Amino acid sequence: MTTPRDLADRFHARWLEQHPLAATSYGIPGYDHLMPDTSAAGEAEWRAEVEQFASEADRLDAPDLEPADEITLHCMREAARQEVAVIDSAGVEYTVTAMPFADPASFMAVAARTVLVDADAAHAYLERLALSGDWIDQVSERLRAGAAGGRLPIAPLVTEAVGWGRQVLAAQVPEALLSPTAPAGWDGAGTWEAERRRLAAEVTRPALARWVDTVEELLPRSRPSDRAGLAHLPGGQADYARAILTHTTLPVTAEQLHQTGLDQIATLERAAVEIGSGMGLDDLEQVRRALRDSAGRISAEDAIREALVAVRRAEAKAAEFFPAPLPPPCDVTPMPPIVAASGVAPHYTPPRLDGGRPGTFWFNTERPTAGTGWDIEVVAFHEAVPGHHLQLSRLQKLDHLPALQRQRSLTVFSEGWGLYTEQLADEVGLYTDDRARLGAISASLMRAARLVVDTGLHHYGWSREQARAFFIEHVPMPAEFLAAEIDRYLVMPGQALAYMTGKLEILALRDAAMARMGDRFTLSGFHAAVLDHGSLPMPVLRRSIERWSTAA
């Protein structure tokens, strides 16, 4: 008889086959030789298969399921629902960017971080390169199909993508594809290197050139900055409604999220003024100016060193508010140049399951971003410990869970947790001084403003400039970084909604559990209850915490 775990395992294995670049990013071996099938026919076939998985889940649902099986079944159904939503939204038909979140730029970013632990991994990399040209051509074809239906990319992002592509094509072999190194001591390295260079030059590079030509041809018809959001695309309102549900897992509207963002900004700005007054900063404008001026004042080397110190301090205290198993130390390292050059903020990737790379906090040492001023500590806590590294690296140790729950990451859960831990770090005394606490408020302001600008762009039809102006007014971070953030929201509609939404849900669950449990409540116990089932949709997490706090 099929169990929820059996079904989840089968679905997850098929999902990884369909999304092998994500598998490589997650550090899951066995898929590094594959490329996605992004063709319309391929996605239609996969959608039908996902629907079959969802039907199986419906047949397994029963009131007498064990709690663990109930959670697994709900996770699998949510993953299937999200997959259908992504396919139906067809973002590949209009998304063009130089940022490493889609298109050939995402492939180059994955290649730049690929680790080859043995000869099999090296050969898998060659297989992937051999398939890369067809995949890039599929992306180009989907863009042409989208344009035929009036779903066009955003002109400024097209211009940037063309410039990025031309720069990559300036080398006979794209630099990112040469980043992985052959396994040490392997006697086949010379032959492998020659084949790697041949495939990169004769397969990947020509397809990239065709993609650049395609997007450049679309430029004259592309959407201008004042029509950048989904609100200006045919079917865009429905696409955005799907994106909201996908990234929050909650039945909330764009209007509600927009207002929540405004309310949170007001609350956070009052807190910033209160802390700033104790530092001789007389009003909100002085606080903003001090925070902006702090960015990039120290060298990239000193910034990454301070981030490492903060991470190690948090790791030393983690056992006080988290249960075993605790993860090994987080690596802190500069991100590859092809990733850093796009202005991407510091971020985290989990350990490779084959041991080829530890959990890594990637730091941007080339462009001004978040995490280079008074916000160094808060970004380190969010990305490493007690944030993503503690959450995701620890999760890999819970091998009693289905792979779906250990290896998949729901944005609202993971990013909600990351933002929750920024506040937790203050509650447990991890920040060194009021400057760091103001940096934490600055980071929270960005997440609150995201609710406003994401809904502004995609629901209310704001221009790119209007969104940028709102961001610059309310978020005291480098203007160049904030401009890149706006473009990120255009490339990934709805993703930016997850952070503050998830944090507020976790805080509400904590408050309810404390009220229910009284003296029986402990932070360590609550954190275990949140994390020990894997990445959960918010309604499932709510039921799980209620069950735990009632039974404990």
Q: Give per-residue pLDDT as tens, 379-408.
A: 999 999 999 999 999 998 898 999 999 998
CA distances for 88 relative to 151, 229, 236, 497, angstroms: 13, 17, 11, 20
Q: Give per-residue pLDDT as tens, 53-75.
A: 999 999 998 888 999 999 999 99
User: What confidence score (pLDDT) does residue 203 get?
Assistant: 98
> Average pLDDT of 409-429?
97
Q: Give per-residue pLDDT as tens, 483-496.
A: 999 999 999 999 99
User: What confidence score (pLDDT) does residue 134 get?
Assistant: 98
Report how far residue 195's alpha carbon sits from residue 22's, in angstroms, rounded to the nearest whole number: 25
Q: Which helix (H) or strand (E) holds 16?
A: helix 4-18
CB-based contacts of 114, cutoff 8 Å, min separation 6: 24, 32, 125, 179, 180
User: What confidence score (pLDDT) does residue 187 get?
Assistant: 96
Q: Is the pLDDT of residue 300 over 90?
A: no
Tokens of 484: 């890149």
User: What confidence score (pLDDT) does residue 139 get?
Assistant: 98
- Helices of type H across 149-283: 155-169, 189-199, 205-218, 236-248, 254-277
User: What confidence score (pLDDT) does residue 176 get?
Assistant: 95
Q: How many C-beta atoms surround the C-beta of residue 194 within 10 A? A: 10
Tokens of 428: 């447990």
Q: Give per-residue pLDDT as tens, 335-354.
A: 988 788 877 788 899 998 88
User: What confidence score (pLDDT) does residue 22 get?
Assistant: 94
Report how far residue 303's alpha carbon sits from residue 443's, in angstroms, rounded to the nearest whole number: 16
Tokens of 171: 């080398």
Q: How many C-beta atoms surround the C-beta of residue 339 within 10 A? A: 23
Q: How many C-beta atoms surround the C-beta of residue 206 within 10 A? A: 14
Report how far residue 294's alpha carbon sits from residue 304's, in angstroms, rounded to the nearest whole number: 15
> Average pLDDT of 515-537?
96
Confidence of residue 364 (pLDDT cuts 50, 70, 90): confident
> Average pLDDT of 416-426?
98
Report how far residue 148's alpha carbon sits from residue 490's, in angstroms, rounded to the nearest whole number: 21
> Average pLDDT of 76-89?
97
Q: Give per-residue pLDDT as tens, 127-137.
A: 999 999 999 99
User: What confidence score (pLDDT) does residue 277 get?
Assistant: 97
Average pLDDT, the chain: 95
User: What confidence score (pLDDT) does residue 344 get?
Assistant: 78
User: Which single residue is written with the structure tokens 């050969």?
Assistant: 123
* DSSP assignments along 254-303, one per residue: HHHHHHHHHHHHHHHHHHHHHHHHTTT--SHHHHHHHHHHHTT-S-HHHH
Using H for helix, E for strand and C for coil, what is the string for 461-529? CCCHHHHHHHHHHHCCCCHHHHHHHHHHHHHCCCHHHHHHHHHHHHHHHHHHHHHHHHHHCCHHHHHHH
Q: Is the pLDDT of residue 27 over 90?
A: no
User: Which single residue is written with the structure tokens 């930016």?
Assistant: 496
- What is the number of residues in the chain? 552
User: What confidence score (pLDDT) does residue 338 get?
Assistant: 79
